[in-house]
Amino acid sequence: MRSIRQRGFSTLLPIPHRTIPEARGQDLDLITVAHSHVIHSHWHKLHSLSLSLTPFRLAHLLLALQNDHVSSLKLWNWVLQHSPSSHTLQSLSIVAHTLAKHRQFKTLQRILSSHPPSTLFDSLLHTYRLCHSSPLVFDSLFKTLAHTHKFRDATRVYVLMKEHGFSPTVESCNAFLSSLLSLRRPDIALSFYREIRRSRVSPNVYTLNMAMRAYCMLGELNRALEILHSMTDIGLRPNVVSFNTLISGCCNKGLFGMALKVKSLMGEHGVQANVVTFNALINGFCKERKLHEANRVFSEMKVAKVVPNVVTFNTLLNGYGQVGDSEMGSRVYEEMKRNGVKADILTYNALILGLCKEGKTKKAAGLVRELDKENLVPNASTFSALITGQCVRNNSERAFLVYRSMVRSGCCPNEKTFQMLISAFCKNEDFDGAVQVLRDMLDRLMSPDSSTLFELYDGLCRCGKNQLALQLCSEMEARRLLPEGFDKDKIIITLPQNEKTN
């Protein structure tokens, strides 16, 4: 965005006017015949001319079809299949201008997305006057690059558009903002937002909603709130997405008082809370393990006659599962079934986790058997929950068998699962098993946290396997997988004197 800010656009660059030589003689004859075949859809007759269709002749033919975008597009597709050698950037540009003039933007963006963007703008610019085109052709290019996440190219096109006096539409600017946020680049999104506010582009409510989201992602909730309050000053009305964005941002920061205040503002603006509003609040409370407050919001949701969906129930179930309250999880699940909401793998994973946290592994296994009946496939979270259950029961051998089954099924354990297994083996003083899991973990380029590693190394040293501990430490250090905060010198201190000197 720096290059945008540095340019003042006080002096616009002229739009070049490039012409092509007039068609004469055999060129004109072939163009006339081909034009007749195209407008009458005599494609079989056009085949005999394919070898004679030079880039020059194709350009003239496309120019002659500018008022018929349907035939122009059909010819373009025919050329790509039967005479690709006649295709040039100039012919692409003429087709693009034709589609832009007839407002065929979806087709235009599809065509533009299939070509390298480096020289597209220049080619479109040099054929702009030749085709008596619309400025929206450049806007479509900008939007296409935004949708395909080619941000450097999109920024370059934006700058060039402004330099030549073409303003992007707010819709294309919104596409750019949306793509930046989808890749979690709120800093660049806000820089671009400030740029379009300085320019002649009038933001709409979607623009401001994305600016709010960007501020929320950066944790700058007061700035997001300022945008919400400023909407009415510029003639815009905040919608339900505006409030939901801010509520979600507050919940992510644990600012539930502020989130509830924002929810109360919805009524003042005549905006009804929807399922996303309540889900955001429930999710926030569940993450903080404030299940009583989450249940209260769930009750408010039903009073407001907002129908809970699968996300609502899964969020609550996961909240109760994380704290090991299988009884409340079962109640929520029964209500879910009464409401006719179909359970998915996330539903079962939450129920299984709740049971496993309480060590109820047999009941959890019963739910796993139900998955096949529901045409659901266990995933990494399912196996991790089952491993948790065996670890709670201090059954490291069964936990390891579940882990092996997990790997065979193609599911990838995460750091938490590995650390849980290592800790379980250590508690059962099966340090060979713990080392085997650690090696599997290192093979996946993961490293345990320092506390788990201390637990393992302390056990190895206590049973006289100091040299193995030191060897593992060296291996992890060589592979740059030694966790921060782990003091390898503590291992050396515990080694016998003869091992230190070897």
Q: Determine the pLDDT at residue 48.
A: 86
333 contacts: CB under 8 Å, gap ≥ 6: 313, 317, 343, 347, 351
Q: Which residues contact 163 (CB under 8 A, 6 or more apart)?
A: 7, 9, 12, 13
- Dihedral (C-alpha) 437, 438, 443, 444: value to the nearest 10 degrees? 80
**Predicted local confidence at residue 114, as pLDDT:** 83
> Do residues 139 and 166 make contact, with C-beta atoms less than 8 angstroms apart?
yes
* Measured distance CA(415)–CA(493) in Å, rounded: 28
Q: 175 and 147 in contact (C-beta within 8 Å)?
A: yes
pTM above 0.75, yes or no: yes
382 in Cβ contact with 352 (< 8 Å) = yes
**C-alpha span between 85 and 79 (Å, rounded):** 9
Question: How many helices (H) and strands (E) would you count in the chain?
Answer: 30, 0
Torsion of CA 482, 487, 489, 493, to 10 degrees: -120
Q: How many angstroms separate the CA atoms of 351 and 344, rounded?
A: 11
The residue ranges of the chain whose pLDDT is under 50 are: 2-9, 495, 497-502
Tokens of residue 5, six digits = 């800010």
* pLDDT at residue number 488: 67
The pLDDT of residue 502: 42
Contact by Cβ (8 Å): 448, 422: yes
pLDDT of residue 10: 53
Whole-Å CA distances, 163 to 3, 30, 65, 129, 177: 12, 40, 30, 17, 21
pLDDT number for residue 489? 66
CA angle 207, 209, 210 (to 5 degrees): 70
